[in-house]
Structure 1
Amino acid sequence: MQVIPMTAKNRKEAEPVFCQVAALRYAKVLNELGISKEAVLEAENIFGKSQELKAALVNPVITKETKHNIIDKVFSEEMRTFLKVVCDHEKMTIAEQIFAAYEELQNQAAGVKTVYLRYTALPSEEQKKQMGDFIKKKYGAGDIKWVMAEDKALIGGFILQVDGKEYDYSVQGRLNRLQRKLTN
C-alpha cells in the first residue's frame, strides 16, 4: 500500500469527501435521535434563510457560549442539543450538507430513490414515467425524487444518475464513446 503525504493541494481535493462523510455521520445521528421530521425541516429552513445566522454560528471569534445562546433563541427545543454538539465540534460549516444527507436517509427508509436527470430538452410526463418505471424496476424503488437540470453541453438526449451509476443517453456521450472506439 502506498501512503501519500497530505499536502495543501490534495487536502483541498479531499476536503469535499471528508465533508460528505462527516455530514453523513451527523445525519445518521440526527436520524437515530428520533427528532421529528418537522423539527429538522424547520431548523433547515431557518438555517437556510438567514445568512447572518450562518455567519454567526461558523465564526470562530464568537464563543461557544454565545453560539449556544443563539441556538436556544432561534431553534426548537428538539433540535437544540444536536445543533450545539455540531457547533461544539465546529461542523456548522456543513450544516446544509447534514440536512441534505438526513433527507436522503429519510428517502432511503421510505423507499424513495433520488434520480439526477440532466437534459437538453425537458422530458414529457410520459418520458419521465418510462424513466421512472425503469428505475423502479432496476432498483426496487417505491417512489422517485427527481433532481433535474438543463445541460446544453449534452447537445441532445439526457443523462440519468442513480446510486452513483450513470446512464448516458446523450449525443455528447455517444460522440465520446465513438471517439474512444476510433482512437483505440
Structure 2
Amino acid sequence: MTQTADRYGKVLYDLRVPAEDVEQMKAALCAAPQLVKILNDPTLTKEVKHEIIETIFPKSLHNFLKTVSDRRRCDQIDDMLESYRACVRKEKGIVAATLYCVHEPDENQKAQMEQFVRRTYGVNGVEMTVEQQPDLIGGFVLRVGDREFDWSLRGRVRQLQQRLIRR
C-alpha cells in the first residue's frame, strides 16, 4: 500500500462517512470494475466524472470521490479502503489476523486462536481470515500484522534444517 492510499484511507475515516455508504461504494466498484478505469480516464472531463460519481455513489462520498478522481487515484481505491478498515478496527480495538492451515479449523479451534490473539495483543476482538494452504503439510501459520506465528510442519522442518546446517 502506498503512503498516498494510506493517507486517503485515513481521510475517508476522518470524514466519518457511514460504514454502509463505504460498503455501498465497494459493492458498486466490485459490480462494475470498469468504473475505476472510467474515473481515471484522462480523456473524460471532470464534469462527466463528477456526474457519474453523483449518479452512482452515496452523497456522503461525493466530495471524497471527486477529489480522488480529479487526482487520478481511483486505481488505489482498494488500498484506501483497506486503510479505512484498519482505522475502523483500531478504533474498535480489533486486530486483523490471517490463519493459514491445511484443513479448515473447527469452531473450537478458531475460538482458541482468537483468544490467543486477544490475550497476546490486548485487544477486544479479532477479525480472522482463514486461508487453506496444503503445502504447510500440517499445523498452521497465524499472521497478525507484521508478526507471524509458525506452528506448521513445513516451518518445523525448515527450523530443523537450519539447526543442522549451523552445526
The aligned counterpart of 1:86 is 68
The aligned counterpart of 1:31 is 13
Matched, 1:20 2:2: yes
> Can you give the 5+ residue segments of structure 1 that lack an aligned partner in the other structure?
1-18
What is the distance in 1 between the residues matched to 2:67 and 2:105? Answer: 44
Matched, 1:50 2:32: yes
Matched, 1:125 2:124: no
Aligned structure 1 segments of 4 or more residues deviating by more than 4 angstroms:
none
Look up the SS of the partner of 1:160 in the other structure.
strand
The aligned counterpart of 2:49 is 67
Stretch moving more, 57-66 or 134-143:
57-66
The aligned counterpart of 1:169 is 151
What is the distance in 1 between the residues matched to 2:119 and 2:10? Answer: 27
The aligned counterpart of 1:98 is 80
- Superposition CA RMSD, Å: 1.3
* Residue 23 (structure 2) aligned to one of 22, 25, 41: 41
What is the distance in 1 between the residues matched to 2:78 and 2:4? Answer: 12
Q: Shift in Å at residue 158 of structure 1?
A: 0.6
Q: Shift in Å at residue 175 of structure 1?
A: 0.9
The aligned counterpart of 2:98 is 116
Q: Shift in Å at residue 69 of structure 1?
A: 1.5
What is the distance in 1 between the residues matched to 2:134 and 2:43? Answer: 44
What is the distance in 2 between the residues matched to 1:153 and 1:63? Answer: 50
Cα deviation, 1:135-159, whole Å, max 9, x if unaligned, reads: 1111011111111110011111110
- What is the TM-score normalised by the length of structure 1? 0.85
Stretch moving more, 174-183 or 64-73:
64-73
Residue correspondences, number: 166
